[in-house]
Structure 1
Amino acid sequence: AHTAFGDGALNKTLFSTSLNFDLAVYECFAPLTSGGSIDVVKNVLELQHGEHDIGLINTVPSALKALLEVDGLPESVHTVNVAGEALKRSLVESLFEKTGVQRLCNLYGPSETTTYSSWVAMDREDGFAPHIGKPVGNTQFYLLNEQQQPVPLGVPGEIYIGGAGVARGYLNRDDLTAERFLKDPFSQDASARMYRTGD
Structure 2
Amino acid sequence: YVIYTSGSTGKPKGVMVEQRHLVNSIQARNNYYRDNQAKFLLLTSFAFDSSVAGIFGSLSAGGELYISHSANDLQELSMLIRQHGISHLLCVPTLYMALLEYSNDTLHTLNTVIVAGESSNANLIQQHENKTHQARLFNEYGPTEGTVWSSVYEYQRIDDLIDNIGQPIANTRIYILDAQHQPLPPGIPGELCIAG
Q: With the length of structure 2 as denominator, give the TM-score of the two structures.
A: 0.75
1:17 — aligned with what?
Answer: 44
Cα distance change on mapping 1:121 and 1:16 into 2, 3 Å: same
Instruction: Kindly provide the CA deviation profile for residues 17-63 of structure 1, in whole angstroms up to 9, marking residues without a partner as x.
Output: 21112111111111111111011113434353334321000000111
Match for residue 100 of structure 1?
A: 133
| Equivalent position amino acid for 1:78 in 2 | N
State the 1:74 CA deviation: 3.0
Structure 1 match to 2:4: none
The residue identity in structure 2 corresponding to 1:81 is I
- Tell me the matched-pair count: 160
The corresponding residue for 1:129 is: 160
Alignment of 1:129-168 (within 5 A): 129-130=160-161, 131-163=164-196
AA aligned opposite 2:160: A
1:90 Cα offset (Å): 1.9
The one-letter code sitting in structure 2 at the alignment partner of 1:152 is P
CA contact (8 A) 1:51 1:74 kept: no
Amino acid in structure 2 at the alignment position of 1:111:
T
Q: Is the 8 A contact 2:114 2:140 kept in 1?
A: yes
Show the counterpart of 2:34: 6
**SS of aligned partner of 1:94:** helix
Matches within 5 A, 1:1-199: 1-8=29-36, 11-49=38-76, 50-52=79-81, 53-71=85-103, 74-123=107-156, 126-130=157-161, 131-163=164-196
Contact 2:41/2:86 (<8 A) preserved? yes
Give the superposed CA RMSD: 1.8
Residue 143 of structure 1 aligns to which amino acid in structure 2? I
1:92 to partner: Cα distance? 0.6
Q: Which has the larger radius of gyration?
A: 1
Higher relative contact order (CA 8 A, sep 6+): 2
> Is the alpha carbon distance of 1:160 and 1:43 closer, same or farther for their aligned partners in structure 2, counting shifts above 3 Å?
farther
